[in-house]
Amino acid sequence: MRRKPRAIFLFSGGLDSILGVKILQEQGIQVAGLTFVSCFFDASQAKKSAKEIGLSLKVVDISDEHLKIVKNPRYGRGKVMNPCIDCHLLMLKYAKKIMQKEKFDFVATGEVLEERPMSQNKQALLLLEKESSLSGYLLRPLSAKLLEKTIPEEEELVKREKLLDIRGRSRKVQIKLAKKFKIKEYPSPAGGCLLTDPEFGKRLKELFEKVPQCGKLDIYLLKYGRHFWRKKAKVVVGRNEKENKVLKKLVQPGDVLIEMKNYSGPTTLVRNYGKRKCSSEIIDFAKQLTQYYSTKARTKKDVSFKITSIT
Ligand code: SF4
């Protein structure tokens, strides 16, 4: 008996990827999901959706390589700091390695032609296929009928007539299909990636300009608190108790933590990127911010501070 064809699917957990998986499974193809974590997105949505549809899921951490391409994308960025083409390319390269190692027949994705102007136009889809060295082995079930026939279709592992011809940004067809497959819950498109968030994007751009050599731990810090720069130092003020706790966990040797001894209020983390020790001027600036963001202490004259240098 002929064995079932096997596909490795780039699975974000969004509606398009859920539908792509369903369409392949409907024709008897065995599908395994593949998702990624980086400094800018996690696998929570993919895990949630995979569980709901009973899909096995591999999670790969690409943080280091991904940060390199975010700093220096070959194919440019979208509206904010999102280098979507480079990012997809990196994911496809991983998918190809897994395909070869674990003997999958092809790679599939939930991409829809022209759904995203930068990364899903025809030229971009072709470029991704070519640059990932997956030519002929990259199937996009939702738009396949608008694209060249792939090798699994030629070899009749996949029935082309059962694939779709969705194009553009309207999600009407996908919503109809979701009903057909009884998919009730799915996230909004493009959610979950911090690189598309304008506020986060501003912080990140500033960090890249001031500290080009910044690493993962500097990126994590961008996710919490209010951010200020004083010369080469970054001052991060916690916005609530939860963030205060997180800031204490994110400290690195050389950082300084500032809290008030006699009033409740924020925890402030100072990270100095300069060569010299944190100056008293920077510490005073951080103290002022700590006091300012405490409603109880803002106007008080008797505030005393606890200053902890992390070694
Ligand atoms: S939105 Fe984020 S995760 Fe998605 S392709 Fe773009 S950079 Fe990558």
pLDDT reported for residue 185: 84
Average pLDDT in the 149-163 region?
97
Distance 124 CA to ligand 1 centre (A): 14
Choose one of 88, 91, 188, 194 to mutate for the ligand 1 pocket test, by most ligand atoms within 8 angstroms of C-beta.
88
**How far, in Å, CA of 215 to CA of 248, rounded?**
18
pLDDT reported for residue 276: 81
* Cβ < 6 A, ligand 1 pocket: 41, 82-84, 87-88, 190, 193, 195-196
Distance 180 CA to ligand 1 centre (A): 28
Give the residue whose CA is nearest to atom 4 of ligand 1. Answer: 84
pLDDT reported for residue 72: 98
Domain locations in the chain?
6-180, 224-309
Secondary structure of 146-172 in HEC code, one letter for each residue:
HCCCCHHHHCCCCCHHHCCCCECCCCH
DSSP 3-state of 130: helix
Give the residue whose CA is nearest to atom 6 of ligand 1. Answer: 84
Q: Taking the CB of residue 116, how many other CB atoms lie within 10 A of it?
A: 17
**How far, in Å, CA of 11 to CA of 82, rounded?**
18
pLDDT reported for residue 118: 86
pLDDT reported for residue 40: 98
Q: Is the pLDDT of residue 160 over 80?
A: yes
Distance 13 CA to ligand 1 centre (A): 13
Q: Is the pLDDT of residue 168 over 70?
A: yes
Distance 40 CA to ligand 1 centre (A): 9
pLDDT reported for residue 155: 97
* 45-57 pLDDT, tens digit each: 999 999 999 999 9
* 171-210 pLDDT, tens digit each: 999 999 999 999 988 887 656 899 999 999 999 999 999 9
Average pLDDT in the 262-271 region?
98
pLDDT reported for residue 190: 58
Average pLDDT in the 226-248 region?
97
Choose one of 36, 44, 72, 87 to mutate for the ligand 1 pocket test, by most ligand atoms within 8 angstroms of C-beta.
87
Q: Is the pLDDT of residue 286 over 90?
A: yes
**How far, in Å, CA of 297 to CA of 154, rounded?**
72
**How far, in Å, CA of 139 to CA of 4, rounded?**
17
What residues are paired with 229 via a beta bridge?
234
The confidence band for 275, taking pLDDT boundaries of 50, 70 and 90, is: confident
* 42-89 pLDDT, tens digit each: 999 999 999 999 999 999 999 999 999 999 999 999 999 999 999 999
Compute the mean pLDDT over every residue in the chain, rounded to the nearest whole number: 96
| pLDDT over 70 percentage in the chain | 99
pLDDT reported for residue 1: 66
Please tell me the CATH superfamily of domain 6-180, with its number: HUPs (3.40.50.620)
Transcribe 6-65 into DSSP letters. Answer: EEEEE--SSHHHHHHHHHHHHTT-EEEEEEEE-SS--SHHHHHHHHHHT--EEEEE-HHH
